[in-house]
Amino acid sequence: MTWAAFAAVTLVAGCSSLNSALQSDRVDYKSAETGPSLAVPPDLSSLAATPAAPIGGATSLSSYEKKEKVVAAQPKVQVLPEVPGMKVVRDGNERWLVVHQAPGDLWPTLRQFWQEQGFVLTLDSPDTGVMETGWEENRAKIPQDFIRNLLGKVIDGLYSTGVRDRFRTRVERGPDGTTDVFITHSRMVEVYTNSQKDTTKWEPAPSDPGLEAIFLTKLMQRLGATAEAAKSEVQAAAPAAPATRVINAADKTYLDINEPYDRAWVRVGVALDRANFTVTSSDRQKGLYQVRYVDPAALHKDNGFFYSLFHSKQIQQSKEPRQYNVNVRGESNDQTRVYVLDPNGNIDTSEIAKNIIGVLSAQLQ
């Protein structure tokens, strides 16, 4: 199954469980590490050296997290601030929050919100409008059986769900002094690498739109809404699904979106987040997202013993993330086109570029 088809199936399944997720919104993410509060956001130059996720190869998640974490959570109890107004907007499969507050004023509240939820922030960049948590476990998913309830926290660390979640918050400046807030979810699952079940590795898994909706409602509560009002707002957001289609021309492959440029630009950014691309920079005026991407075919390709023996360096290089430019172009008032560009700024016609377009198309359905 291709990544595009895999993502499409995931989105259909996720949407059907949204209401049930909001009804049973038990989440418990508590980082095991603590440390000083983040005073200054990390230098963006460090972003390029950080892998998007521990994909491929048997590696421990704990070692990955230790290298990744740059700030620890220190929950603070504060009175909920008053907000002039907010609403949930839905476009296709995306829901986001529109807050009547400037991005710079809202940013400290977003930081506190994720820390209060028990997360460590690994990326805190007001300049790019992106905030990202570390990979954490939802302890609420661990069965509360008799033995665990009896022994309590004494053996709590011995229990594991084999699932880790990460959340990315993207902030975009809206019209009339408003701010658009997007929350996207990524997931990794621990799987056995052999029949003996003595070694494991972490692999990417489908995102959960239900969790995105849960944290969107929790953020609304943090901004002053009641729990019931927040849930009702998220559930009642009216869908508006503009048509998207992949165009396979003789010399190029691109994505057509029947939406104005401003809306399409935001939706493409959210799709990149949800599809586990690492966005290293973005320029809205030029319509460019610079992303890091690993070809799934290279990760899972069986090169054979002798080829691997003499070409280990080339194989390793093929599994490393590469830079690509996703170009969003406004073609008319209600149509936008998306291309993948090569390092020279030309339209990329490779199979990897076609794969990227396919993944984006599946996320935007």
d(CA 272, CA 253): 18
Give pTM, 2 decimals: 0.67
Specify the pLDDT at position 303: 47
For residue 65, give Cα distances in angstroms to 39, 62, 118.
Answer: 20, 5, 15
How many helices (H) and strands (E) would you count in the chain?
12, 13
In a domain, 3, yes or no: no
Question: Domain boundary residue among 239, 268, 285?
Answer: 239
Polymer length of the chain: 365
Query: Phi first, then psi: what are they for 181, rounded to 5°?
Result: -120, 120
Query: Phi first, then psi: what are they for 119, rounded to 5°?
Result: -100, 150
Specify the pLDDT at position 277: 84
Cα Rg of the chain, angstroms? 21
* Residues 203, 139 share a domain: yes
* Residues 186, 72 share a domain: yes
Q: Fill in the amino acid letter for 103.
A: P
Q: Which domain holds residue 304?
A: 242-365
* Residues 274, 223 share a domain: no
Residue 153 DSSP label: G
Query: At 324, which CATH number?
Result: 3.30.310.170
* Residue 218 in tokens: 């929790």
* Residues 258, 246 share a domain: yes
In a domain, 12, yes or no: no
Q: For every one of its 365 residues, what pLDDT tens digit does the chain have, with 9 covering 90 and above?
A: 444 444 444 444 444 455 555 555 567 787 645 433 333 333 323 333 333 333 333 444 444 344 444 444 444 333 344 445 888 888 766 788 999 999 999 999 999 999 999 999 999 999 888 999 999 988 777 665 555 555 555 555 556 778 999 999 999 888 778 999 999 999 999 999 888 888 888 888 888 888 999 999 999 999 988 888 888 888 776 555 567 888 888 788 999 999 899 889 988 998 888 887 888 888 888 999 999 887 655 444 454 544 455 455 554 555 567 889 999 999 998 899 999 998 888 999 888 899 899 989 988 87
Question: Domain boundary residue among 198, 222, 239?
Answer: 239
In a domain, 337, yes or no: yes
- Which residue in this structure is represented by tokens 């939802």? 138
* Residues 264, 215 share a domain: no
In a domain, 1, yes or no: no
Specify the pLDDT at position 183: 95
* Residues 125, 148 share a domain: yes
* Residues 212, 267 share a domain: no
d(CA 203, CA 181): 28
In a domain, 15, yes or no: no
User: Total structural domains in the chain?
Assistant: 2
d(CA 105, CA 206): 33
* Residues 187, 102 share a domain: yes
In a domain, 280, yes or no: yes
Residue 235: CA atoms inside 13 Å, Cβ hemisphere, count? 14
- Partners of residue 136 on adjacent β-strands: 165
